[in-house]
Copies of this chain bind each other. A is one copy, B any other.
């Protein structure tokens, strides 16, 4: 009880701190613009063997001319400091102040305070710091203020301009312009050096990311640096994916940091005669997120999997959630969608989700699917659905809703005569990296994602108070779901069939639509069981070899209570990579391959990314389906804990929420739970009714009990597990 009081006091304090917090200034901009700008910066850092390697879809840009304003009522005059990125003017009540003021006196009373900023190359941004007047997301912005004047000089009152609330992040240093934003770095050192030809290969001990630093570099001649995620790659001077070629002319020793960051474990240092260096190190670059989620169990291999997954995920959590740190270093929607889910069970860093969603969507007009991929457009909608579910952040949904509408309008405009989506010029139907996977005709998987996206639109339309469209999207979603089952459900195969070509159902059954149908809850209980037996657990159906789709496959099995089976799969699949000495998880892993075959992809011997975000899914699976924590009402206002040992002796861990962590410990006799937020229900199986001090317990079905979990209480629940 002492503990409880303390926690309550802390909560109360944090509540009292809020008003002060609201006076904190930050850099603000037109919403989405910093995100688009910074994603351009980040995605244009990729090189392949020294060649610049940018994305192949449309890169949008910020609005170059933006108006910011807010109305304030001051009881006394206030001195306000102004920091601006761009050329600007300042107006009080519409009257411009001469010059480019760095500080301004706002008189007492009610006043409209405006800044209008032009910046072609960087995002127009302001930082305003007074005692009560500060820049934050309560300011309004527009890219067309339409403040025309009439012949008498009167400003139009008919402009009908749409103002939207400003965007911001955690950029609270007025002297650091938003365009100068950089992730922090820390020095790391190699753990081993090995002679290679004239020079050496340095091993940094594990997969890492950052800027190579050469100490005491001197001489006249060439220096070549070959990076490798594997030793083989670093040694392959003609096939490694990334490198630096330097032409030096240094009379005296100098420390030199490579301008572009790289992903590597090994560095092959090849200097011409006459070029010398004292040593190398690296500046490890990382996102300063907090590791809030955790997992530990009686199984040390599983613990290792969890830790390596978390490291893999942290490496790929950067300015945005990217796919892989060596390659592509881009913001891919399908990859990011999985990162969002992993993030909710690890860092719970909402801003990185928002930045990534905004960067992916860019600006209107929509000229292609997100990343050009049809499925990736749908994952983008699903990402917003999940974001709202986990964070409860209704404002973000309202803000982004117009951009959701324009993307959905683009998609709706591409339906064929059957009301379904199939390939059209410019569309990439991705689904997964898999041999002989047909993308032709009306692929059921795409229709399923489309239906889910329409459901998301209906939900978000409601949140944005667009009831008319909410109804429209809801109807469209229901109609499409009905059509999917009419067209694709094959009663004899007990599964959704892969595709229709020229109005004819194909014979092909794949895992994709079937596994999504399970955790989308689109099947009847009978269909679910049939799909599990006939597809998911059926070795005759083509196997999945990417962690990307294993994510969903294992999720579907977990959703059906197959935690014991999935645990074995995790140990075999991710454990398999660990046995091959992986220090981060890979883009693809096919246990049937041998030796350097594991490094090859895209026809290139080291084409594969050995540190891919989608390889980190155990973070999500262990948090959601073993610790068993997930929100019911948005933002964990209510939530469920349905822990499942899956054969483990014990496990313990934390699941973060926007308002604090939920802790779970479970062994075969006892479950201990505490939560800093929301109201939960713990679901457990027990042969007898568990007795919990101070908690309501009810039986929901035979041997299944529900315990009500209140905020800031510690529960210890003895139980009596039935034989499985």
Contacts and interface: CB of A to CB of B under 8 A. Distances in A.
Which residue of A49, A62, A148, A151 has the most chain B CB atoms within 10 A of its CB atom? Answer: A151
Interface residues of A, number: 71
Contacts of A99: 50-51, 245
Contacts of A603: 152-154
Given A158-B425, A423-B158, A52 B602 contact: no
B426 A146 contact: yes
A602 B150 CA distance: 7
Interface stretch (A104-112, A317-325, A343-351, A363-371): A363-371
A160 interface: yes
Interface string A52-86: 11111111111111000000000000000000000
Contacts of A428: 146, 148, 156, 158
A233 B353 CA distance: 56
B118 A121 contact: no
Contact of A160 (B87, B98, B425, B601): B425
A65 B44 CA distance: 9
B159 A426 contact: yes
Contact of A58 (B63, B87, B156, B604): B63
A156 B148 CA distance: 49
A96 B51 contact: yes
Contacts of A364: 364-365
B148 A56 contact: yes
A151 B607 CA distance: 10
Contacts of A44: 65, 87, 118
Contacts of A534: none
Interface of A: 37, 40-41, 44, 48-65, 87-89, 96-100, 116, 118, 120-122, 143-149, 151-154, 156, 158-161, 245, 364-365, 367-368, 372, 423-428, 433-435, 601-604, 607
A48 B153 CA distance: 14
A52 B89 contact: yes
Contacts of A49: 96, 98
A372 B146 contact: yes
B426 A160 contact: yes
13 contacts: A41-B120, A52-B89, A52-B100, A55-B65, A57-B144, A144-B368, A146-B426, A151-B433, A152-B602, A152-B603, A158-B423, A159-B372, A160-B424
Given A151-B433, A368-B144, A159 B65 contact: no
B56 A145 contact: yes
Contacts of A54: 65, 89, 116, 118
Given A56-B145, A99-B245, 18 more contacts: A41-B120, A51-B96, A51-B99, A52-B87, A52-B89, A52-B118, A53-B89, A56-B147, A57-B144, A59-B63, A61-B61, A61-B62, A61-B63, A120-B121, A146-B426, A152-B603, A158-B425, A365-B365
